[in-house]
Structures are given as C-alpha cells and as structure tokens.
Structure 1
Amino acid sequence: MGFRNLRAFNEALLAKQGWRLITQPNSLVTQILKAKYYPKGDFLTATHKQNMSYTWRSILQASWVIKKGSYWTIGSGQDINIWEDNWIQQKGNSTGTSSKPNNCGFTKVKELMDNNYNEWNASIINQVFNPYEAHMILQIPILDKTQPDTLTWDGTRDGTYSVKSGYHAIIDWANNSNSNNATSSNCSMEIWKVLWKLNVPPKHSHLIWRSLRNAIPVKGSLFKRGIRCDPLCPRCLDHVETIQHVFMDCEWTKKVWFASPLTLNLNLNYLTEFYDWITYMINNIDKECMEKIVAIIYEIWNARNQLVFQEKDLPPQEISAIAFRRLHEYQTYGEKQIPFQNPVAKGCSNNTRWSPPLRDILKANVDAHLSSDGHWFSGMVLRRSDGSIVGAATRSHKGSSEILMGEALGLNDALDWLEKIDEHQVILEMDSQTIVKAIKEKAIVRKNWGRVVRRCIVFLGENPNADIRWVPRSANRAAHEMAKWAEHEPNSEWSNCVPTCIWPFIQKDKGFVTPV
C-alpha cells in the first residue's frame, strides 16, 4: 500500500471513531470526550484547543471526511442549521446553501415546515431561497416530524459510515482533485475508470465508450466512409446525423432531456461536443445522477434504432421512464456484488406468481412507478384469501431521485391506507428486496427510506398476525399496473373494486387460487 493509500486508510479509520461519537452519544467514551473538548456543542462543531491529547487531535483532524461525505436526513428539523449544514442536496460532497438573506430570522429547518402537517411551508421557502434551492427543498419528503434528524453517510446503502466506504471516498476525492490538473490523456483515463464503475448494464457503458470513440454507426459517419445512405437525421430530416446531433442537438432529443426528472435544458448548453459534455458531467455530478444520464443516452439510441429499423416513433416523454425502469430492474436484480437472498420464503408456496393469504388474513400488494415528469406514483391492491377485492388505492408524490425512496414512499402510503381503513391483519408484499430485507432484519437505516423501515417494523410489532414479504415483479403485477394507472387517477381509492384496466390482472391472479 502506497503512502497516499496508507494515509487515506488511517484517516478513514479515525473518521470511524468520530462517527461513533456522533451516533453513540450515550457511550462512556463519548460523554468523557464531550465533557472535556466540546461541552456546549457536538463533534462536528468541535474546534482545536490547547493541551489536546494526541488521540483526540487525530480524530478531530479526520472530521473533514464525515463533513464532506455526509448530509442530514430530515426528521423534526430542529437540529439542522439552515445555513451551515448540508441538507438540501441530500447527498454527500455537495455544495451548501446560498448565503443567509439580510433580515432573515430563520435558523433551523424546523421553521420552514408546516406546523400542522408533514409538509413544507412553501410560501416561506419560495420567499427565502432562490428558485433552484426552493425546488430542491420542496422535493425532499417529510415522513415523520416526531423522528430526530439523522446524519447520513452517502457512501453506503444504509447511510452508516464504514472504514471501507470512507477509504474509497477519500481516494475518489483525491483522484477527482488531481484530474482537474491532469493532461487530456489522463482525463480520458479517469473518464473510463468512472464509466466502468457505474452500476449500469454493461451494454450501457459500452455504448458510451463507443460513442466517445466515434464508433457507432450514425448516418453521417457511414456516408463519409462511402456507404450509400441518406446522411440526414431520420427524425428532423434537417441536419446531418452525427453523434452530437443524436444525443444532444436534435429537437426530439432536447425534449427527452427536458422532460426527464433531470430537466436538462440543452438549449442553454455551451459545450458543443458530446465528449466535452460527458466529461463535464462525470466531473461535476454524483454517481447516481450519472447512471441516470447513461441510461437515458442508451434509450435515446435504442429509440433511434426502433425508428430506423422498425418505423416505431416513441414520444420523447416516455424515454426517461423506460430508461429508469430498466436501470431500476438491473440495479435491483442484476447486481452481482450483492448476493440475492430471498428474505421471505415462509408461507409462500410459489413466489413467482401471486398466492392467496390464509383465511381471515388480507394481502396488500404495493408498488411504485416513476413517471416521465419526475413524480412517484404508488399503487395498492388489497385482497382476500379467495382473490376477491377489498379495495385499491393510488397516491402521488413529488419527485425523488432515489429509487429506494420511491419504493419506500409506496410502502408508507400502504401503511397510511391500512390504518385509515382499520385493517391490521395484513400481509404486505412488494418487489423491493432491499427494503423488505431491512425490515426483516430490523436494520438501522440512516437514509430517508429508513424511516419507513422503522415505521413498518413498529407496525409489524404491534400486529403479530401481520407480515411483509418480498415477491418478484411477476407476483406483484396488479400493484405494478395500479402504480402506472396512478398517473391517470392519482390519490384515489376504490372499495370492493379496481379500475377496469386492472381487472384482467386480478382475474389472472384469481386463477391461481385453489378452491377450498
């Protein structure tokens, strides 16, 4: 291990000690160090003092790792400083808020919330913040103001700091800093390193690699190489089809980017080459957002091929929804580094299709759907042991960039709905194995979706006959279609019936019910 790597490991290890001081406030070590070094504050606000011990000085010097890679998950909002803490971006290593306006008396995030509901006070936020920040804040869900605010590490799935994730974060930050001063060849190497580390299907990364090397068969390139073909773009028929035109300059493509949840307006883009644009994005946005961009690029090319070879013209509003759905499916079921474990094999004779619950028990299937305009929609179907319908419901939420958050919102809606109709003898089923596994293991998740995990754990503890199970998409089809239908009828409920378009899936599931 080189000197830089050894230093990064030591800083990551010391940062772990600082993390424990934050997350274990009642431990004896924390109480002793707090009483001696920061009696009136917390670890992140502690400053250097004279006569510090070597151990404390080392831990304090490594606090920058936690500050840089963490953000606040919002609960009550009373512990988060609006102007000093990282909370708007809900990502580590992000920029802070704009400076505090003159004559502004707001200090804590709690003051920006509605006093009576789990909602933001939109009028105050729009007055205090610039339009971009106001939009970002209003997208953050407030799930339960009775819960404390939680410092969340961005480098792990559950939001808890680990030495391994801290080490990799330090190395990545150093590489990104060095790349700003590197030559163009070194920059290219960094691009490939980032590209191959993205959690996207290999064919997506391969398409980007080929595009950056001008190795995809756009008509302009084919024409230059002597192949007899019409070099014009098959959509606009107004410009030569180049890589730049396909992915950035075509009016259809611009509508795709603007209609996506990323709302990228390429009319304002000053980068005139696709290579420069990808390089800029890789160096200036987080990994999750870059994965979405790569997914959209792939679907743009896929839609172009469908137009050329199948004469199928897809509307630009649908491209991002298709891209994110396929990305979600790959990240949920195709991650080789996360071994698949079915947390809910009990009580399910065939989990590849819908199975009825036991008599006197209801089954609630729930799923979430991300629309092309950035909203999450959830669909819920409640059925009896004979497959008959108790009810169905849909809900909508403002966009969240995190897929797990969207799935958690759907589960939270299901719990709200079940409490509203006073049904507690229920088996919940959903196709997000990460969320179900966290609930089954009673995991401590510091990210925002962890609040739904905690709520569901409490719900199951208070209702011994209730349960939650993971099922594949094929066994959750009715809820999946309800979530898609929610775009047409959001925030609606049905008693003893479902929308007509969902009925065929209900009837198919009833075919699997064995008569008693």
Structure 2
Amino acid sequence: MSSMLRSAMERGSIHGIRIALIAPVVTHLLFADDSIIFVKANVREAGVVRDILRRYEDASGQSINLEKTTISFSKGTKAFRKVGVLGVLGVREVDVQGKYLGLPTVIGQSKKALTNIIRDKLSKKLQGWRVLLFSKAGKETLIKAVAEAMPTYVMSVFKIPTTFCDELRSMVSTFWWGSDNGRRKMPWVAWSKMCKPKCRGGLGYRDFANFNKALLGKQAWRLMTNDTCLMARVLKGKYFGDRSFVDAELGHNPSYTWRIIWEAREVVMRGARRRIGDGWSTSVWWDPWIPKTQSRRIISPRLENDEDMKVAHLLREDGLGWDRQKVSSLFLPFEQERVYSIRISATKPVDGWCWDYEKDGEYSVRSAYKLFVDDGSGIEQSDFARDKWLWSRIWKMPVLPRIKVFFWQLCHDNLATKANIAKRLAGHDMDCPFCYNNMETCLHIFRDCGWVEGFWEGLGLDVSVDGGGERVREWVESTLKEMREEHCVEFMVGYWALWERRNKFIFEGVRGDLNGVFNRVKGLLGEMRADDDRELNLGEGSGSKAKTGEGRVVEEQGEDGGKEGEKQGWMRPREGAVKINVDAGFMEGMGMGFGVVCRDEHGVVLKVVAVQREETWEVKMAEAYAVLTGVKEAIDAGYKQVIFESDCLEVVTDLRTRRKGRSDIHLLYEDILSSCNIFEAVNFSFVSRRFNRVAHLLAHVTPWSLGRRVWIDDLPQHISDVSSSDLVLYN
C-alpha cells in the first residue's frame, strides 16, 4: 500500500501534505494496523485512495474495517467537498482524530488530553494495589516495575508539565508511605532523597521531570545524528533550512513538537562531542570536540582572525596526524594532551557526533538521566566514597528486601520512634515504652535501652553492638565494619525482629517476652540459610562453566577451532594460515608501543615488528590500534589467510561481532574491518596475556625509538628465546 500511495503521488494523482515549501510531501504514516493518509479534499483524490485500498485488499486478503475508519477535514473545507469525499470513501467524519499509536493526534495549549491518559491509568493501578498488604520492599518493586514505567511512552514524545510531574510524584509517594481513610500518612524522607541512587542513600526512584527531559533528549539526538529520517526532513524544511539542528533557532510561533525537541537539545549538548574524522565540519573554538574535559571545548585564548578555524587546519598536510607545532602554539598543555589522544582515521570520514557518557558513543536515556542526578548530588567525593560503602553493604546483604528497607530508614534516623514523631507533632509523648527513663530515639531503643541488654546472648550469637558514634548512621557503619558477613546478617535480622516486637507492643498492646523474638530471628535465619543451600545445590547441578578474572572466560573456543586460554597457551594456526599476535604497551613519559609477531602453521616466526608512537591513548584504544598495526603488516607481507590474536578480550569480542557505535574506538574498528576485506579468510581470537609474551615484549622493546622496526631473519635473542618457549609449552 505504501508503494502504491507513493507512486500515486509521483504521478500527481494525490498531493499529500507539506508544512513548508522546502519540506518533503507526506502522503501517509503507517504503523502495524494504524494508518493515516493525507490527500486533498476533493472527489478525484478520494477516488484514487479508494481504488488503492481496494487493490490492497485484493492483493493481501485483508479487509479495511470501515466502522473504525474515520476522516477529518482541515478548517475552511467547503461543505459540498466534505459531502463528496464522504460519499466516495463511505466512512464517517470526526472533528479531530482521537488517537494514533495510543497518543492524541492534536495537542493544543491545554495538555489535559495527555495528562489524563497517564493520571487515569496510574490512579487505577494504585487504587487496586492499596487494598493489598504490601511491605515497603513490595511497594518499591511495584513502583519501579509498573508505576514509573507507565508514563514512559508519553514522556518519550511529549514534554509533561512540571505541575503534573509533581502530581505523579505525590501519587506515588502517597502509595509508598501509605494512607489511612483517605488521609496520607507522614512521609519520613523527602522524595528528592529517595530519588537518589541506592549507593548514595536513596531508593533509586525516578524524578519524573528529569526523566522526561532525558527521554526527549533521544528525539534531539536523532535529529543530530540522522538528518535523513522523515522527522528530521520535515522539521528541517520548516524551521532550520540549510543550517544544522545544533545551530537552529526556536523561531516565531513554533509548534509544540518543535519547541520540546529544540529545548531537549540542551540536554544532549551536556554530553555530546564531535567525533573527528576529516575535521572540516568542526570549529576549533566553538564546537565541543575535546574528550575528557568538562566543557569539551577549547578554553585557550583565541588569536585574531582565527575564529573560523576548523580542526582540519590542525592536521598535517597528509591529514593523517596532528601538526604538533600548530597545536602547541595554540593550546594550553593539558589541552594539547587531550588533542593528541584523538586518533585520526586514514579513511578520513566526515565528522559526526558521539555521546561521551556511553562506551559505544550512542545517546542513552540512562546516562543522560544520571547526569541530572549527579548534578543535584552536591556531595564531596570523600563523602560519596564513605556513603557508598555503607549503602552497598546494606543493599548487598543476603537478607529479606523488607529488612534492607528497614535498615535504610534506620540509617536515615527516620523510623517512627516517639522522639521523631515529637519533632513533627509538638507535645507528643517521647518516653521509651520499655524503660521509661529516656527518650525513645533510634540509638536508644537499639543500643542503649536496657530491654536489648542480653538480647544477642539470649540468641547465642556472637554479635557486638557497642559501636561508637552519636548518629545512627555512624553507629551502624562502625558496627558493620567490625563484623563478618554472617554476623552482619544476624545483626540486621535481629534488629528488624526487635522493631517488629516494639510495634506490636505500641499498636496492639502485645508485650510478650524475648523468647518470641528469639524464635522469630532463628526461624528467619534458618529459612535464609536453607534458601542459600538450595541455590548452591542448583548451581552445582547446572553444569555451567565457571568464569574467572576480570570478565575473562578460562576456556574459550577460538575462531580457528582450537581452545585458547589459561591451560592451552599459544596454539599453531590451521594449515595455510598465518597467526599474528599483537599487543600494546605504555612507557611512562615517552608514549606507546605496539608489538606484532607473525608465525606460520609450524610456529616458525615469519616477521616481528615494533612500532612506537609519542601519543598516549586509552588502553582499549591502544589495544585496538595494535590489531590495526597487525592488519597493516599482514597486508604488507601479502598474507591471504590470517588469524589476529590479542589479549584484550573486549576488543576481540567487538571485532568478532562487528559491534556498531559512534565513539572514537568504533571509528578505529571500522578501519580494521574495512582493511580486512583484502584477505581471503580472517579471524580474531583471544589469548591469555601469559601466552602473548612475544608481542608483549615487542610492545615494550628498548631502546625506545619512535617509528617502525622490523626483524625478519635476525631476531633479537630475548625475542627468539620467548618465541621458542611458546612452542615448547605447546608441544
């Protein structure tokens, strides 16, 4: 049907809709069984559409449901035209199409149509959950898995009013803290704190307004990186013509769609950077192109008449590297270092955009939202490290989720003790309900009160809770640091049971004795240990291979059919192939080295190469460049069937899977893979560093000398010895 509509437009039978003179004509939008067709309101074009639909029915065997098909006319359409079109198509007229893909087709100044969709769905869910008894941990799961996910689709397309985001937050917060006869219970922790990551003392809930911005950033990113898509061509024709989206202005009386995408550009520019290809479309002074800096822009003083300088002007005449004399004369030392860390591709692609906060260089909502969270943290690095230890310790403990949430509240000193209630309700009783000698604070009831004396002895557990600190968090942290993990579990379960007993006494008048608490704690500990044993037995029976060491598999099937890993070592290639081992190394204050060793199926060394450069790149980039160096040497030697072997598993995996991306290293991957097209057969395999010693030695060969050195017959003695030992180990 799409093809027939397009052909009809090309013949002039239908005209579609165009929002600006240089914008593309749109005749239809199709998605699954939702379709919108745009034509002029006349009988002739209506007849063309009718004929196309009938031909589609005959060819596909599907039938158009006329009862669900509607038509709407633009303002000013004459009544007789409407009657004629309706008579031809046989469908009913509506003033405005209701929804398309679940969203309203027309958005005016009032956003009630949007907000009502979200409010109604979320309210129904929350009302249904309120009749059930959920623990705080259960509520956390429901909020994150359902309540926070429901507005995501709408938020990815439209900007939600801030007031409505606050309303959503209030609805979710009320569900979390609970309500009694329609009255919201007291919130003990500010929602802004609860939206922080768990490693920073929050619960990881979403801030709806910031999440909305991060989602809309994806639309802006699409315009920046794919200017050939329909949305980009339509908006470009209307709003920014021959300019780029980054340079576009809001304009006079913009549409709601353009306004929200234009505003989302600010979100993207907080982490976007120009990926340098040929350098001709990137401004030295105005564009963000410097990696690993806060602004990603040059801050060195500009020289006169240089405002229009492009990055290409900083390259050597051959365009394959940096002109160090120019760079050193223009930039501050730390900027020079960052410039030299950018590798220039020999294929000279056009410059593009990459996202600095993801490895693959592609914008992600997760990392963009994290930027908002980090900006609002306002904590020192040392405080973050200390807090991270405590919160990680609590959340990783093998205890029930409800116990973890209880300790989260305890560390924030926000349990509903009498002293805490009195801070909010003047005149409230603050006496400890057990000893009546002190105020009931968290520290008192769990550490200082006489009713907990002998509690751990009665349980027969070796736990000491005499940690210091005048704040609850300090006391919990010092106590957990002094305990082994099994004692930490006992500590957390025991205090949760004590709090449960205290609440029964306060609200139900059930005083009881410690024996009931002892039985409760022992029962919970026994159940958890039984669950751990069950999981251990299931794991042992699964037959899965264990993994060890920095994400590397101990044994891995090589591309050439052999097993490569810690046990096998270096293996000879298949008959007729050449195995090329590569490695990268760093010499502090001097630069990088790359080692290449080529061996045939008998293990005979055909060639060894050492290349040394004065730049210093990131480790992964250097390891990938070592592979490219090996590829160049193989091409130079005329090898046809090659196996490239590296001790960097991440690089090998990326090359095997031909992983796509927009980052600097993915540009290097493209260079490697395109260069490999010359070979008859090529494979990439991983080998342990222990059995990549020859390439490792070549990458660190001394004396240091910039450039390329090649040995074919007369190998250095220490290189020859290590190469021979590889064969001995193999045999």
Q: Normalising by structure 1, report the TM-score.
A: 0.65
Question: Which structure is higher in RCO with an 8 Å CA cutoff and minimum separation 6?
Answer: 1
Aligned counterparts of 1:197 and 1:103: Cα–Cα separation in 2: 54
Equivalent residues of 1:70, 1:153 under 8 A apart: yes
How do 1:10-21 residues align onto structure 2 when only pairs under 5 Å count?
10-21=212-223
Equivalent position amino acid for 1:171 in 2? V
Alignment of 1:446-465 (within 5 A): 446-465=662-681
- In structure 2, the partner of 1:499 is 716
2:679 aligned partner, one-letter code: N
Cα distance in structure 1, aligned partners of 2:267 and 2:586: 33
Deviates more, 1:153-162 or 1:489-498: 489-498
Q: Equivalent of 1:467, from 676, 683, 691?
A: 683
- Residue matched to 2:120: none
Measure how far apart 1:188 and its partner are. Answer: 4.6
Deviation at 1:445, TM superposition (A): 2.5
Aligned equivalent of 1:443: 659
Equivalent residues in 2 for 1:355-374, closer than 5 Å: 355-373=571-589
Tell me the percent identity: 26
Kept in 1: contact 2:577–2:600 (CA 8 A): yes
SS of aligned partner of 1:466: strand
Q: 2:561 aligned to 347, 351, 355, which one?
A: 347
Give the counterpart of 1:190 among 384, 397, 417.
384
Pairing 1:84–2:286 present: yes
**Which of 591, 600, 612 does residue 396 from structure 1 map onto?**
612
SS in 2 for 1:381: strand
Q: CA RMSD in A?
A: 3.0
| Change in CA separation of 1:143 and 1:396 when aligned onto 2, cut-off 3 Å | farther
Work out the CA distance in 1 between the residues paired with 2:391 and 2:315.
38
Equivalent residue, structure 1, for 2:241: 39
Larger radius of gyration: 2
Question: Number of paired residues?
Answer: 372
1:54 maps to: 256
In 2, distance between residues paired with 1:401 and 1:507? 32
* C-alpha contact 1:368 1:410 (8 A) present in aligned 2: yes
1:25-424 mapped onto 2 (5 Å cutoff): 25-91=227-293, 93-104=295-306, 106-144=308-346, 146-175=348-377, 178-179=378-379, 188-192=382-386, 344=558, 347-352=561-566, 353-373=569-589, 375-424=591-640
Task: State the distance in 2 between where 1:333 and 1:46 align.
Answer: 51
SS of residue matched to 2:309: coil
C-alpha contact (below 8 Å) 1:71/1:91 kept by paired residues = no
Change over 3 Å in CA distance of 1:477–1:365 after alignment to 2: same
State the alpha-carbon separation in 1 of the partners of residues 386 and 296 from structure 2. 23
SS at match of 2:726: helix
Q: Which runs of 5+ in 1 are unaligned?
A: 180-185, 199-331
2: CA distance between counterparts of 1:161 and 1:451?
A: 16
Flag the 1:14–1:341 CA change in 2: closer, same or farther, 3 A.
farther
Cα 1:510/1:346, change in 2 over 3 Å: closer
CA distance in 2 between partners of 1:344 and 1:157 (Å): 25
- Displacement of 1:115 after TM fit? 2.0
1:499 CA drift (Å):
2.1
When residues 459 and 138 of structure 1 are mapped into structure 2, their CA distance, relative to the original with a 3 A threshold, is closer
Output the CA distance in 2 between the equivalents of 1:431 and 1:408.
11
Residues in 1 aligned to 2:718 and 2:274: alpha-carbon distance in whole angstroms: 41
Are 1:396 and 1:486, in contact at CA under 8 Å, matched by a contact in 2?
A: no
Query: CA–CA distance in 2 between the matches of 1:197 and 1:385?
Result: 54
1:489 CA drift (Å):
5.2
| Equivalent AA in structure 2 for residue 498 of structure 1 | L
In structure 2, stretches of 5+ residues that fail to align are 1-147, 149-190, 193-205, 393-546
Contact 2:591 2:612 in 1 (8 A): yes
Q: Which amino acid aligns with 1:389?
A: V
Letter in 1 for 2:722: F
Mapped to 1, the partners of 2:227 and 2:346 lie a distance apart of 22
Equivalent position of 2:178 in the other structure: none
Could you tell me how far 1:81 is from its partner in structure 2?
0.8
For residues 50 and 339 of structure 1, the distance between their equivalents in structure 2, rounded to whole angstroms, comes to 59
| Pair 1:342–1:57, CA change in 2 (3 A) | farther
Q: Which residue does 2:644 correspond to in 1?
A: 428
Distance in 1 separating the partners of 2:208 and 2:693: 50
- Seen in structure 2, the aligned counterparts of structure 1 residues 140 and 398 have a Cα distance that, compared at 3 Å, is farther
Q: Give the Cα separation in 1 of the matches to 2:548 and 2:270.
A: 31
Give 3-state SS (helix, strand or coil) of 1:376's partner: strand
Please state how far the C-alpha of 1:333 moved relative to its aligned partner. 7.6
Q: Equivalents in 2 of 1:162, 1:487: separation in Å? A: 45
User: Contact conserved, 1:343 with 1:440, CA < 8 A, in 2?
Assistant: no
Q: Is the 8 A contact 2:280 2:311 kept in 1?
A: yes
Partner AA of 1:167 in structure 2: Y
Matched residues in 2 for 1:197 and 1:476: separation?
41
Q: CA deviation at 1:506?
A: 0.7
Q: Which residue of 2 aligns with 1:285?
A: none
Asked if the contact 1:460/1:467 (under 8 Å) is kept, the reply is no
1:6–1:429 Cα change, 3 Å: same
1:50-83 CA distance string (max 9 Å, x none): 2222222112212122211122221100111111
Aligned to 1:312: none
Equivalents in 1 of 2:354, 2:663: separation in Å? Answer: 6
- Mapped partners of 1:486, 1:150: distance in 2: 39
* SS of alignment partner, residue 62 of structure 1: helix
